[in-house]
Structure 1
Amino acid sequence: MPYQNLLLETRNRIQTITINREAKLNALNRETLAELSAAITNAASDPGIGGIILTGAGPKAFVAGADISEFSAYSVQEGEQLARSGQETVFNLIENCSKPVLAAINGFALGGGLELALACHMRIASRQARLGLPEVTLGLIPGYGGTQRLTALVGKGKAFELIATADMLQAEEALQWGLVNHVTDAEGLLAKATEIMDKVVQRAPLAVAAAISAINQAGTAAGFEAEIRAFGACFGTADFKEGVAAFLEKRKPVFKGK
């Protein structure tokens, strides 16, 4: 489908999705969220795509937040539906995608923009990136999973500090907090993202999908059981047999996602 707010490029089984609203600092409006939902859904079902890199257009912003003008007059019920719909159709969709999604944070990642990055399985940031959840300055709290995913990554104390102060973290601080995996120079951001994702897409796709599912349940009562079941299921795949055979034969495996 044609996209108005996204740019898509696929190379070597890696699809890069660029949110292309540079003049608006790539803010998330209804149309952009709908397009992201469609793009992630399509990528997840495309056998030619093994991983996704999500980034923003231009040097200033990954995503500077949600488009506040769209919901400034919402009622309680409309606000709740806004959060529920966004989480179900975009943020949870990304987190539960069977293919790895990496956020390449090229500038401001604020509010819904940071929540979008938090929903991804990995995050890398350029040195000029700034990350924060400033919703309390608007009389709100994060509504797209920010309170939950940030806490899982950095712990309750640091999550409360970032949310309640509305401060922004510099990229190196975010790295120290465990909020991002790597920090790079701006010109090397997508190259680093591609380097990481290129390694991932060479691994057994069903095993990677199983790892995503199990890791997403870490810290829950069902987490260990999910890991045990996913581990066992891997033994029934052709990729497992290929991986073992390649190891024993001292050659590179050829995985087919079966």
Structure 2
Amino acid sequence: MSLNDYPGSDEDILLSVEDRIAWITFNRPDTLNAFGPRQFHRLADLLDEVSVSSDVGVVVLTGTGRAFSAGGDVREFTKKGLVDTGVYALRAITAIRRCRKPVIAMVNGLAVGGGNELVIASDLAIAARSARLGQAGTLIGACPVIGGTNLLSLQIGEKRAKQIVFFSDKVEAEQALAWGWVNEVVDDADLVKTTRRWADRLLALHPQSLQIAKASSNVWWNLSYDSMLAGLEMIAMGVPAESVDEGRDAFLEKRPADYSPWR
């Protein structure tokens, strides 16, 4: 199966540049902005593009509709689809961390699974009061190895991160703020205005100094990278295809999954 065999188009993620702010908008509202391999590939390409653009000083990630991103597109979760999604997700997460410009996650709604890992990877995060953040991997036969099992603990503490990852918990934006998961929570109507204010503050600063600050702050992400690669390999080798099918079907059928054959 090649990348083009997965559903999607360039319209799934949009780019606009205004006043040196690059707005990258996830544009699959009918799926709560879920990502498959093609969407993660497109996001990585756009981030690489704006990283070297002299017309861009700050990058903002956000979603259309009522979600930032619901994470991986469960409908594509065969065993191979799950692994391929993880491989391209790692490329997108890497592009966020290596982007030469500050990246702000403007969390306009639900941020779950790989969507939450995009928030974790971003340099800053501003959340709407209605937003909820969390993971879902253990419900469907996956595991959030690209941020959830490593970087999240650096942001909110190991015990809290394990709670989120083990139980696939979701928390309200205000709780995420109290734990250090996001930088600010604002009323939904003020989200764009507040994000723009943060972006304007960054644009007023010395660009090379910001670049150095970001690159040198990446030390913890760099140390986590091997854990992410290893996690993807463990999913590829150790998660039975049939259990992925059961997790996907249970999720789509809105019933508890039965993992007893694999215990």
The two structures share one fold, judged by TM-score above 0.5? yes
Q: Deviation at 1:35?
A: 1.3
Q: In structure 2, what residue type is equivalent to 1:71?
A: F
How far off its partner does 1:97 sit? Answer: 1.2
Counterpart-to-counterpart distance in 1, 2:82 and 2:37: 14
Q: Which amino acid aligns with 1:149?
A: L
Give the 3-state SS of the residue equivalent to 2:177 in structure 1: helix
Deviations 1:214-250 (A, max 9, x none): 11115988xxxxxxxxxxxxxxxxxxxxxxxxxxxxx
Query: Counterpart in 2 of 1:189?
Result: 191
Partner of residue 26 from structure 1, selected from 23, 33, 36: 33
Q: 2:106 — aligned with what?
A: 104
CA RMSD of aligned residues (A): 1.8
**Residue of structure 1 in register with 2:248 after alignment:** none
Q: 2:56 aligns with which of 49, 52, 59?
A: 49
Equivalent runs, 1:190-205 vs 2, <5 Å: 190-205=192-207
Map 1:109-128 to 2 at 5 A. Answer: 109-128=111-130
Deviations 1:184-210 (A, max 9, x none): 111111111110011111111111010
- 2:168 aligns to what? 166
Question: 4+ residue stretches of structure 1 with deviation over 6 A?
Answer: none
- Report the CA distance shift for 1:70/1:54 in structure 2 as closer, same or farther (over 3 A): same
Match of 2:140 in 1: 138
1:14 pairs with 2:17? no
Distance across 2 between alignment mates of 1:144 and 1:204: 31
What amino acid sits opposite 1:44 in the alignment? S
Q: Distance in 2 between matches of 1:137 and 1:218?
A: 28
Q: Deviations over 1:47-87 (max 9, x none)?
A: 010010000001x100011112223233xxx7555434421
Q: CA deviation at 1:12?
A: 1.3
Runs of at least 5 residues in structure 1 that lack an aligned partner in the other structure: 222-258
Other-structure match for 1:229: none
1:183 aligns to what SS in structure 2?
strand
CA distance in structure 1 between the aligned counterparts of 2:161 and 2:217, rounded to whole angstroms: 20
Aligned counterpart for 2:44 among listed residues 37, 44, 50: 37
**Equivalent position amino acid for 1:36 in 2:** L
Change (3 A) 1:184 1:156: same
Instruction: From 69, 78, 90, give the equivalent of 2:75.
Output: 69
- The yes-or-no answer on 1:3 pairing with 2:5 is no
Structure with the larger RCO, 1 or 2 (CA within 8 Å, 6+ apart): 2
TM-score between the two structures when normalised by the length of structure 1? 0.79
CA distance change for structure 1 residues 101 and 211 in 2, over 3 Å: closer, same or farther? same
Q: 1:3 offset after TM fit, Å? A: 2.8
Q: Percent identity?
A: 33
Q: Deviations over 1:152-184 (max 9, x none)?
A: 111111100111121110010000110000001
Partners of 1:121 and 1:150 lie apart in 2 by 13
